Structure 1
């Protein structure tokens, strides 16, 4: 058995033309299929690229927000440190001021107490002097009443009158 396809011209057989038709069909259909697949791939590529661009933009915005948040946090920490330092200085100033005010109040109260004591001593001395004067006056009155009579009274008055010019001169 001999294979006739090898002895004859290849275009003379139907298989050749079927092969050519299949190749042409494959080229035409392949082009359409490849265009459709290419269009789908292009659309998918554009969608993926848009998603990547959006993700990059979101990432940039997130990084900007993160940097801003970090800056705000650093500023807030600096403000908190400043507030604490100011509060500490204010507390020390108020403590010193209150200590000075307490010292001044204590000194005023001590001075007032000393003045009260001095006033009480002065009043007591005055009362003692007044009582002594009253006692001395009463004793002198009683002594003079007992010791001086009408005759001696006249002698004392005469003696005082004669001594008056000497006392006025000298």
Structure 2
């Protein structure tokens, strides 16, 4: 089925596709993508002007500034969710309204440098934790309250590697379209 222009702009790398199996090789590759995300992001946005940071990646989409801050918001939630899954028996996590968070004053106006620094430290901790998970840990899970879906930690590793790449593609696609 052909993707619409809106779908292409919303999902430039496509929607997350779970692998048939979460092999050690797959997880190692995804953890490396998570580890490298802050540096790859910084490389793409380092020389953008304030005006460029205020540019939405698509019509009615978030600005690049909001996308950067959203990645920190989302990945902080990921870190906490993994910690809950490791320390509690299949906990129900706290849902957050990412669209409302994106509209808060800090996400709309704050400089990006503190968020880039936060992402560096956060991703170091995330990958340090992920690299040291046992087979038993990878099977631990939490419940997402939005639709009562259970997510295993091994699934979250793949999802968040995709999430970083997904938002990075929003930025790189816009840069290419604008010739930046």
**Shorter-chain TM-score range:** under 0.3
Structure with greater Cα Rg: 1
Task: Give the alignment's TM-score, normalised by structure 2.
Answer: 0.18
Structure with more of its chain in strand, by fraction: 2
Structure with more of its chain in helix, by fraction: 1
Task: Give the alignment's TM-score, normalised by structure 1.
Answer: 0.19
